[in-house]
């Protein structure tokens, strides 16, 4: 029923209305169906007016401010749309006729109405003809309808004034920002609206309950009240619709679950429900589980239908007009909304909705869930899935891929809003690098988590396994030039170890794929928020396509040519030196790790015994790794670090693990042990800055003038302690906001050593 606004603005063209009926906006295929059953429509078809008015307001935001104003008569009254008029006229007219078979004459009437629509006198004529049917459900007195109808006809343009208006209303009508959230919502709601209106007509036309029962929620209303124009109904969820509904059926079966169903104003008006009514709620409805309440809340219940109590529509009509009193709840304004929650749990813990990532195994319950979700056949081409996005049924298409790598990426910083201030919090996004049977890669971004933990588990459980993806959204299509980091990782996995399929050609098992060029583009996909569409088959074998990281020795790596190559190694971290200050937020911390391995220790000369690996801020270290690094020196597996310009750096997509993965293609020697106690290079003229070395010598002097000591906080290491204001005998750490009971004393001393190897010069060591 979305008649074009422009046509109305000018004038009601003769052919416009009836043909508009026939070619009606979104989805009305058969107008005869509509017209047949208008008897059942009440004047609450004014919903249409409401919506249409709202749709006007999609372009001009101040239009909807009128809706903010609650007028004595509902919004529907300020109908500024000529649309509504013929609809209502049709309604009344057909009601009067009330016979389905007289469609042809109706049609004629439509046209007649059409041509005379601009005549105010005509309205009066109509009005007088059907006084009773118009007032079928006295949502409004007929005279009001008449008044508004007249107003409509006289000023086809939008009415701009109604009661009290803020200065904002009178401001210029503003278009919504293109691509902005508001515009997107408008588009969504317009689509929904037409779907809803079409559906309502559908329902009326099949007087019986539609046979498609999937996803239908059947509820019986126990109690109703209203809060801020939303009708809240406490209901019982029924398994199936009761065959006979008798009003004597007041016994509440306590075993059936109680739910709260919210109905929007228009839906409530359409339903005119009262306690003991049975309502069918068709999908898509949404369920919300509140944290503190046991009762789930159902919303977006636009597609609701009341099960009629009796066979005769007329009798229900006569029952209809009695007004029902509803209690109205006043909501306190004193309670504000707290948006920050500090726990990692998803708000909806309902098993229907969420599966915790770590538990994504094929448990029997999960299998049942999979079976119930009607996913389509399994595909093996990512490209096909990507290209079919948006087409009908794409959501059900599953793609089977191999998980090559699992890692965390630093995600956008969020803000935790509090009364005191916005504290930035960091998020880490779990990602998978997957490859399909055609060799195409894709980075799949899963959920954002507040802490990067369990990465080792995910890697162990998922890498190399097959995985089915469904309903992914494309975040972007990135190219080599734009995502060097991602492509350096992809390059390390190219060429594929087994022949990959080539689209369009018969699969020749002997086809060599070494000649295929490495991919130049990659899709970044993301999981639809709130739903897991990824199933990892952990029980299955490792795919042949999987390329585990090639472990090399540090000596080999240092001698590698090439730039920006990914390399993996197993090394012992001797020392961690933070490169950024303590005060820098966690996500920007950089550090140097001094590492060594068997090969470096065994070398006599030529390459350093200890190498500095720099860890940049974009490399996400899991919490277990950070703890391990801080505690003691130990062996760490560096997966997919970057080698270039003579340096090894850990960037994004580099993963540090505590254990060597079982599947990596190991180098010859067992590199897990060092040949002996760690040896460091001796200090000499070639020693470079920022490297570790050993110095041996005799202390010959101390520079007393520069020696000093200072206390530091034993908790956080803060070197700037202050005097405690209340008691100047105590020290206070402002970072911990607490008194320091036992400060750690640090000293700085310059010591002169005389080293035999360096004689005659002396070495100054700052301790």
Partner 1 sequence: MEKPPGPCCGTGGTLPAVAEELLKEMRKAFRETSHGTDPFSFRLKFIFGPSAVPALDLVDQRSVTRVVSPSGRTAYQVLGSSGKLYTCYSSCHFCTCPAFGFTVLQKSESLLCKHILAVYLSQAMGACQELTVSEEQLTSILLAEEEDEG
Q: What residues from 212 to 231 belong to the interface with partner 1 (CB under 8 A)?
A: 223, 225-230
723 binds partner 1 (CB under 8 A): no
Q: Which residue of 417, 451, 507, 588 would you call a contact of partner 1, by CB under 8 A?
A: 417
Q: Which residue of 322, 329, 728, 757 would you call a contact of partner 1, by CB under 8 A?
A: 329
Closest to partner 1 by CB, 57 vs 133, is: 57
Residues 6+ apart with CB under 8 A from 368: none
Name the minimum Å distance from CB 38 to partner 1.
24
Site for partner 1 in 231-260 (CB under 8 A): 232, 234, 260
- How many other β-carbons are positioned within 10 Å of the β-carbon of residue 516? 15
Closest to partner 1 by CB, 30 vs 319, is: 319
Closest to partner 1 by CB, 336 vs 514, is: 336
Cα distance between residue 110 and residue 99, in whole Å? 15
* Options 16-24, 410-418, 502-510, 600-608: segment touching partner 1 (CB under 8 A): 410-418
E strand or H helix that includes residue 262: strand 258-263
Helices 84-97, 46-59: crossing angle, 10 deg rounding: 170
Contact 400, 375 (CB under 8 A): no
Site size for partner 1 (CB under 8 A): 96
The mark string for 277-306 relative to partner 1 (x by CB under 8 A, - otherwise) is ---------x-x-xxxx---x-xx-x----
Q: Which residue of 95, 126, 262, 536 would you call a contact of partner 1, by CB under 8 A?
A: 262
Closest to partner 1 by CB, 300 vs 602, is: 300
Name the minimum Å distance from CB 149 to partner 1.
23
- How many other β-carbons are positioned within 10 Å of the β-carbon of residue 458? 23
Name the minimum Å distance from CB 277 to partner 1.
17
Cα distance between residue 223 and residue 329, in whole Å? 13
Closest to partner 1 by CB, 174 vs 213, is: 174
411 binds partner 1 (CB under 8 A): yes
Q: Which residue of 241, 316, 513, 526 would you call a contact of partner 1, by CB under 8 A?
A: 526
CA 284, 289, 294: angle at the middle one, nearest 5? 130
395 binds partner 1 (CB under 8 A): no
Name the minimum Å distance from CB 419 to partner 1.
6
Name the minimum Å distance from CB 526 to partner 1.
5
- Max distance between CA atoms of the chain, in angstroms, equals 120
Q: Which residue of 214, 335, 630, 761 would you call a contact of partner 1, by CB under 8 A?
A: 335
Q: Nearest CA to 445 among 454, 433, 455, 437?
A: 433
Name the minimum Å distance from CB 396 to partner 1.
18
Site for partner 1 in 64-93 (CB under 8 A): 64-65, 67-70
Write out the two tokens for 482. 């734009």
Name the minimum Å distance from CB 67 to partner 1.
3
Q: How would you write 403-424 as a 3-class SS string?
A: EEEEEEEECCCEEEECCCCEEE
Cα distance between residue 393 and residue 646, in whole Å? 51
Cα distance between residue 54 and residue 59, in whole Å? 9
Contact 22, 138 (CB under 8 A): no
Name the minimum Å distance from CB 73 to partner 1.
12
Which residues, in sequence order, are bridge partners of residue 443? 433, 524
Site for partner 1 in 448-467 (CB under 8 A): 448
Contact 596, 610 (CB under 8 A): yes
Site for partner 1 in 163-192 (CB under 8 A): 164, 166-171, 174, 176-177, 180-186, 188-189, 192
Write out the two tokens for 63. 């239009």
Q: Nearest CA to 598 among 614, 609, 582?
A: 609
Q: Which residue of 427, 487, 494, 598 would you call a contact of partner 1, by CB under 8 A?
A: 427
Site for partner 1 in 527-556 (CB under 8 A): 528-530
Residue with tokens 């708000």: 347
144 binds partner 1 (CB under 8 A): no
Q: Nearest CA to 568 among 478, 637, 480?
A: 637
Site for partner 1 in 636-675 (CB under 8 A): none
Contact 468, 525 (CB under 8 A): no
Which residues, in sequence order, are bridge partners of residue 349? none
265 binds partner 1 (CB under 8 A): yes
Cα distance between residue 161 and residue 78, in whole Å? 9
Closest to partner 1 by CB, 189 vs 564, is: 189
Cα distance between residue 594 and residue 576, in whole Å? 6
Name the minimum Å distance from CB 510 to partner 1.
42
Write out the two tokens for 44. 């609450």
Name the minimum Å distance from CB 230 to partner 1.
6
Site for partner 1 in 306-325 (CB under 8 A): 323-325
- How many other β-carbons are positioned within 10 Å of the β-carbon of residue 618? 17
Site for partner 1 in 344-383 (CB under 8 A): 346-348
């Amino acid at each position: 029923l979305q008649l074009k606004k422009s046509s109305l603005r000018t004038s009601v063209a003769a052919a416009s209305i009836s043909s508009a009926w026939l070619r009606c906006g979104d989805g009305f295929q058969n107008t005869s169906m509509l017209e047949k059953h208008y008897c059942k429509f009440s004047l609450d078809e004014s919903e249409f007016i409401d919506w249409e008015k709202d749709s006007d307001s999609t372009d001009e935001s101040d239009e909807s401010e009128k809706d903010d104003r609650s007028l004595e008569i509902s919004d529907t009254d300020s109908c500024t749309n000529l649309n509504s008029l013929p609809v209502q006229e049709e309604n009344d007219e057909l009601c009067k006729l009330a016979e389905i078979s007289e469609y042809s004459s109706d049609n004629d009437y439509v046209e007649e109405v059409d041509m005379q629509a601009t005549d105010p006198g005509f309205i009066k004529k109509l009005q007088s003809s059907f006084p009773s049917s118009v007032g079928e459900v006295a949502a409004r007195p007929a005279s009001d309808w008449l008044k508004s109808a007249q107003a409509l006809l006289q000023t086809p343009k939008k009415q701009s004034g109604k009661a009290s208006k803020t200065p904002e209303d009178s401001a210029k009508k503003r278009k919504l920002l293109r691509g902005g959230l508001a515009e997107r919502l408008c588009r969504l709601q317009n689509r929904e609206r037409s779907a809803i209106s079409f559906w309502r007509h559908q329902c009326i036309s099949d007087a019986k309950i539609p046979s498609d029962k999937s996803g239908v929620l059947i509820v019986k209303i126990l109690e109703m009240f209203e809060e801020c124009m939303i009708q809240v109904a406490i209901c019982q969820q029924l398994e199936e619709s009761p065959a006979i509904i008798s009003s004597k059926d007041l016994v509440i079966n306590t075993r059936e679950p109680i739910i709260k169903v919210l109905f929007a104003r228009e839906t409530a008006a359409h339903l005119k429900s009262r306690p003991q009514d049975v309502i069918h709620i068709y999908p898509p409805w949404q369920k919300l589980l509140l944290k503190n309440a046991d009762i789930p809340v159902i919303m977006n219940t636009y597609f609701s239908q009341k099960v009629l109590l009796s066979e005769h529509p007329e009798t229900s009509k006569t029952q209809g007009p009695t007004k029902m009193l509803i209690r109205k709840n006043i909501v306190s304004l004193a309670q504000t909304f707290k948006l920050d929650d500090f726990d990692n749990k998803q708000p909806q813990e309902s098993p229907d909705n969420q599966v915790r990532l770590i538990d994504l195994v094929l448990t029997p319950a999960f299998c049942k869930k999979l079976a119930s979700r009607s996913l389509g056949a399994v595909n093996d081409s990512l490209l096909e899935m990507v290209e079919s996005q948006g087409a009908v049924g794409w959501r059900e298409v599953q793609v089977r891929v191999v998980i090559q790598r699992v890692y965390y990426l630093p995600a956008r910083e969020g803000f935790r809003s509090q009364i005191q201030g916005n504290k930035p919090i960091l998020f880490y996004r779990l990602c998978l690098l997957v490859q399909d049977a055609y060799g195409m890669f894709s980075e799949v971004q899963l959920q954002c988590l507040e802490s990067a933990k369990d990465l080792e588990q995910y890697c162990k459980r998922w890498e190399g396994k097959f995985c089915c993806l469904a309903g992914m959204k494309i975040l972007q299509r990135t190219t080599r030039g734009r995502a060097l980091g991602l492509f350096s990782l992809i390059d390390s996995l190219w060429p594929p170890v087994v022949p990959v399929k080539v689209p369009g050609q018969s699969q020749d098992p002997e086809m060599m794929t070494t000649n295929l060029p490495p991919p130049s583009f990659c899709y970044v996909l993301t999981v639809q928020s709130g739903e897991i569409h990824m199933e990892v088959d952990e029980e299955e074998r490792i795919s042949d396509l999987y390329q585990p990281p090639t472990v090399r020795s540090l000596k080999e790596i240092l001698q590698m040519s090439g730039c920006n190559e990914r390399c993996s190694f197993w090394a012992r971290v001797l020392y961690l030196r933070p490169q950024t200050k303590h005060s820098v937020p966690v996500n920007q911390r950089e550090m140097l790790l001094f590492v060594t391995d068997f090969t470096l220790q065994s070398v006599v000369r030529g390459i350093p015994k200890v190498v500095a690996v720099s860890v940049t801020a974009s490399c996400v270290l899991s919490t277990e790794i950070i703890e391990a690094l801080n505690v003691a020196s130990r062996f760490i597996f560096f997966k997919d670090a970057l080698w270039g310009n003579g340096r090894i750096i850990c960037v994004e997509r580099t993963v540090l693990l505590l254990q060597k993965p079982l599947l990596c293609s190991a180098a010859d020697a067992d590199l897990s042990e060092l040949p002996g106690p760690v040896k460091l290079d001796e200090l000499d003229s070639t020693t470079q800055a920022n490297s570790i070395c050993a110095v041996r010598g005799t202390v010959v002097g101390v520079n007393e003038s520069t020696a000093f000591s200072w206390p530091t906080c034993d908790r956080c290491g803060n070197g700037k302690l202050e005097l405690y204001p209340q008691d100047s005998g105590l020290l206070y750490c402002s970072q911990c906001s607490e008194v320091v009971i036992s400060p750690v004393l640090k000293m700085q001393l310059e010591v002169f050593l005389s080293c035999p190897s360096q004689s005659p010069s002396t070495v100054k060591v700052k301790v």
